[in-house]
A and B are shown apart, each in its own frame.
Chain A
Amino acid sequence: MTEPIIKIENLNKTFVSNNQEKPVLKNIDLAITVGEFISIIGPSGCGKSTLLRIIGGLDTEFKGTVQFENKPITGPGRERGFIFQDHRLLPWLTVEENIKFSLPESAENVDDIVSKNLEIVGLHDVKKNYPRQLSGGMAQRVAIARALSNQPKLLLLDEPFGALDAITKIHLQEEMLRLWELEHITMIIVTHDIDEAVYLGQRVIVMNTHPGSIKHIYNVEQSVPRSRTSPDFHCQRDKIYQEFFEEKSQTFFYNI
């Protein structure tokens, strides 16, 4: 399978502030194959979230080609699930109602869909709960179940675990890997956590800032099963650490 699910060619985006055009993304070229797990990492302000929002169809003002399954992206679509940093559950709806809210009107057996997907993310007996009764990790699991209920071909994750504590974060990262293997969904995660990027991604895209552009793409050789403690993992991770470390030491050097 080498057919790209996402094809980005010569993508440019500018942002106007104080009557000045500021480039946000510059000359982005990227092809993502069906079934890949991609991590996008970069310093804040590098446009990584904007890139994800463009793929999600939430941001449609750009120049260049962005295609999903060979069709240009003109807006959001169910087949491209989006997980935000906040769980974004409607506070006035129960867990069950929140998932039903997202389903197409033509959907049948909605109760089964809800149960099945909550089960997949490891939640039981929370259907009737309101979001405020859930912990941050549980709420994010519901958000994932909601995305899965819509049977996405592509799942876009915008710093999905950024607001969670370290332990919950690791649990959910493992959960995402399991889902990826189970459901064969192409996943793109945007993160500023190098460990997370290397642990999850088959390819890690390192982005540059001012303007946002792709600096390097690393192919991560994942051990099976993945490990956070193996020398391989550390080796991969250190390479990416150096991307950021190097830049800093250079500026420091020039300043003196």
Chain B
Amino acid sequence: MKEVATNHYGKIIKYWSLYWIFPILILFVWKGTTILGIIHNYTLPAPDKVIQTAVVLTTNGTLAGNIIISILRVLEGFIIALAAALTIGIAAGLSVKFEIITDFVLQVLKPIPPIAWIPLAILWFGIGEASKIYIIFIGAFFPIFLNTLDGIKNIDKKYIELARVYEVPQKRVIKHIILPGALPFIMTGTRLGLGSAWICVVASEMIAATSGVGYMLMDGRDLSRPDMVILGMLIIGIVGKFMDDILKKLSNRMIKWN
């Protein structure tokens, strides 16, 4: 065990066993309660029942279909929000005038939860795709916008002073000081924005949709199928985690100087 290689593998094994110990424990307790009949099957179906449902829904294609349609909706709304939030955030960060002009409206819109927009979105866009994408847009916009603005405001003034010493033109200051300086904030905002977008797609699908993961939850309730509901919830959690993992990796790669 004293060799470096063994030690290294030992560390990895230790990490992963610690990482999985809690989820596996939950699974056992869950299964245990159903075997002992502490919790009724209707309230909480056994984990193997949920897995069985997953297999059935996977083979008939509905599960993949619902996941894909939800992810596509998120991507559409998220990308539009990203583009808008970066544009407005950078503009407000660079121009004090622009920030003052937009400040009141944005600060009033910010505390309105995306879900509160659902009635209006349905009145405006009907129950089609557009209303869901609009809700996702609202959900993703503010975290990205606010972090971008904060990131630019928080750039160390000493770098701006340095640029003055060398008479560096404004364009190069934006490209080499402001944008990279704000990038860690922007990436945090993007991760929060994507997380919020995923929450919003599920919420909007639960209210007005005929497909998607959120619809699957409501469908499970209508059919009195708690196994479907729990499966849907687990999928929401797992997909959300993987989407965040991807952005986290991307962010580490982009901020390679740290």
| Partner-B contacts on A (CB < 8 A) | 56, 58, 75-78, 80-82, 84, 86, 88, 90-93, 97, 101-105, 130-132, 150
A-B contacts, 29 listed (Cβ < 8 Å): A56-B165, A58-B161, A58-B164, A76-B165, A76-B167, A77-B167, A78-B166, A78-B167, A80-B165, A81-B165, A82-B165, A84-B158, A88-B159, A88-B162, A90-B162, A90-B177, A92-B180, A92-B181, A92-B183, A92-B257, A93-B257, A97-B176, A101-B166, A102-B162, A102-B166, A103-B166, A130-B256, A130-B257, A150-B166
| Partner-A contacts on B (CB < 8 A) | 158-159, 161-162, 164-169, 172, 176-177, 180-181, 183, 255-258
Contacts of A105 in B (CB 8 A): 169, 172
8 Å CB contact of A91 from B161, B167, B168, B257: B257
Contacts of B177 in A (CB 8 A): 90
8 Å CB contact of A75 from B164, B169, B258: B164
User: Given A75-B164, A91-B257, A105-B169, list of 9 further CB < 8 A pairs?
Assistant: A58-B164, A58-B165, A78-B166, A90-B162, A90-B177, A93-B180, A103-B166, A104-B167, A131-B257
Contacts of B169 in A (CB 8 A): 105
* Residues A132 and B168 in contact, CB atoms below 8 Å apart: no
Q: Say how far A186's CB is from chain B's closest CB, in angstroms.
A: 16
Q: Say how far A13's CB is from chain B's closest CB, in angstroms.
A: 18
* Residues A90 and B168 in contact, CB atoms below 8 Å apart: no
* Residues A101 and B172 in contact, CB atoms below 8 Å apart: yes
- The complex places the Cα of A102 from the Cα of B180 at a distance, in Å, of 16
* Residues A90 and B164 in contact, CB atoms below 8 Å apart: no
Closest to B184 in A: A92
Contacts of B257 in A (CB 8 A): 91-93, 130-132
Closest to B255 in A: A92
- The complex places the Cα of A103 from the Cα of B169 at a distance, in Å, of 11
* Residues B158 and A101 in contact, CB atoms below 8 Å apart: no
Contacts of A130 in B (CB 8 A): 256-257
Closest to B156 in A: A88
Q: Say how far A207's CB is from chain B's closest CB, in angstroms.
A: 23
- The complex places the Cα of A131 from the Cα of B257 at a distance, in Å, of 8
Closest to A53 in B: B161
- The complex places the Cα of A90 from the Cα of B166 at a distance, in Å, of 13
- The complex places the Cα of A91 from the Cα of B176 at a distance, in Å, of 10
Contacts of B161 in A (CB 8 A): 58
8 Å CB contact of A86 from B158, B164, B166, B176: B158
8 Å CB contact of A90 from B165, B167, B180, B256: B180
- The complex places the Cα of A56 from the Cα of B164 at a distance, in Å, of 10
Contacts of A77 in B (CB 8 A): 167
Contacts of A132 in B (CB 8 A): 257-258
Contacts of B166 in A (CB 8 A): 78, 101-103, 150
Contacts of B168 in A (CB 8 A): 101-102
Closest to B172 in A: A101
Contacts of A92 in B (CB 8 A): 180-181, 183, 255, 257
8 Å CB contact of B176 from A56, A80, A90: A90
* Residues B158 and A88 in contact, CB atoms below 8 Å apart: yes
Closest to B167 in A: A78
